[in-house]
Amino acid sequence: MNPRVVAGGTMTRKPVAKRLVFHIGGYDPITLHVSAQRRFVREIARFQRTWSVKATVDGSHDTADQIQWNVTTIGPDWLVETDYRLVRWHDVIEVFGGRSIVSRISVGILVFLDFVLAGALWRYLQTNWRYALFFLYPFVTFGLLIAAAVLIGVVAFKITGSIPIAAGGGLFGLAAVLAGPWRWLHLGDLFDDWIFSCEYIRFGNSEIEQRLDRLAAELVLAASNSAADEILVVGHSLGAVLAIDLLDRALKLDPALGQKKIPVTFLSVGSSILKIGLHPKALRFRRAVERVANSHAIFWGDYQALTDVLNFYKCRPMAEMGLSTENEATVRVVKISRMLNDDMYQRIRFNFFRVHCQFVSGNDRRTSYDYFMLTCGPISAKSQTLAPDGAVSMIADDGGLIAGAPVSESELLGSSGAAA
């Protein structure tokens, strides 16, 4: 039996009092430090209402590699201090977005051909057809818009019989496409996303790699010297790929990572791991995934959702990549509709990017997946992932730890982070 796939889980350790979180977000060109913390504060307010707890966010500190702030969450009989670190890579994203439109379009078309001819698109179709549609969307949409611009030129020629007027009409249509739908439909960002992914697969990215090297050294040091009860690495969307890379680099520095003092948990949420891993040329990345999975001291939980077309649903990452499943991730399928009030869900259900971001947003309802309970709650992320209903059966209506949860009274009272 796979030791990581179990029917349920229990809290066998004392409540978490201190937690260190490294969060790596997806390909989001608007994640600047100010907006990132503002969004975090807004969403954790929903978490407080849903779980009847209190939370404060303070101490923002920026470095070249990360944005750091402190989170204190309090329940009737517990207190958790979270050192939250958002790994920066919007500067890398801005470089791709700063290229000329001509460059982005031409390279984007070559990238489209790369994924198709290499066989990645076929693998997407075999694994999760919804993700294949997400891959096709920006390129097909752009192709249709260009066809519409050409049609304008053809119609102008049929009406006037003038080649210059027809050419002018076509150029006007092209300019309209680039001034309007190219921006409104975020086609530029989607092109850049796939361009970055292709370059990452084939050549790597020196800026990202240097940053991950520095963060890996920081992670290894924290695992030995930090006062945290748990180190949690969260990768959302394409950030899950970089999180794998980070953990792999940390394991190269310390193969015993997570075994000595502080447990290390890795959560991939709304993950794009297979976006990269299914490309035939992603050999380096698949080796990194295998090394992380084979590290028994690092628990890996993978959260997936059907309504999020930007992730792979009901997929076993290791198996889909043709890797050994002996140490497969613990896969949890969750329903985003259960996280939100009905009116809220109806408003966002067709906004695919917003649905995708629910993995890192606050919930209106208590359910098995809650980003802020995982990153700032008193129950370890591993225990929440293994429990069939997450933290729901462990947290009372008033926000306190349920007495029936398997945590001894002596452990609870002895916890430095527990509030009377």
pLDDT in tens, 310-337: 999 999 999 999 999 888 899 999 999 9
Task: Reply yes or no on whether the pLDDT at 414 is more than 60.
Answer: no
Q: Where is 80: in which H helix or E strand?
A: strand 78-87
Which pLDDT value is given to residue 412? 31
Q: What's the predicted TM-score (pTM) here? A: 0.89
Separation CA 18–CA 227 (nearest Å)? 7
Q: What is the mean pLDDT of the chain?
A: 88
Task: Reply yes or no on whether the pLDDT at 247 is more than 90.
Answer: yes
Which pLDDT value is given to residue 289? 97
Higher-confidence residue of 225 and 176: namely 225
Determine the average pLDDT of the residues in 264-287: 97
Phi-psi region of 270 (alpha: psi -120 to 50; beta: other; left: phi over 0): left
In order of 140, 197, 320, 401, the CA distances from 276 in angstroms are: 21, 7, 12, 40
Of 198, 8, 186, the residue nearest 121 (C-alpha): 198
Question: What is the percent of the chain with per-residue pLDDT over 70, rounded to a whole number?
Answer: 91
Task: Reply yes or no on whether the pLDDT at 147 is more than 60.
Answer: yes
Locate tokens 């906004």: which residue? 351
Which pLDDT value is given to residue 404? 56
Contacts of 281 (CB under 8 A, 6+ apart): 118, 201, 202
pLDDT in tens, 348-392: 999 999 999 999 999 999 999 999 999 999 999 999 999 999 999
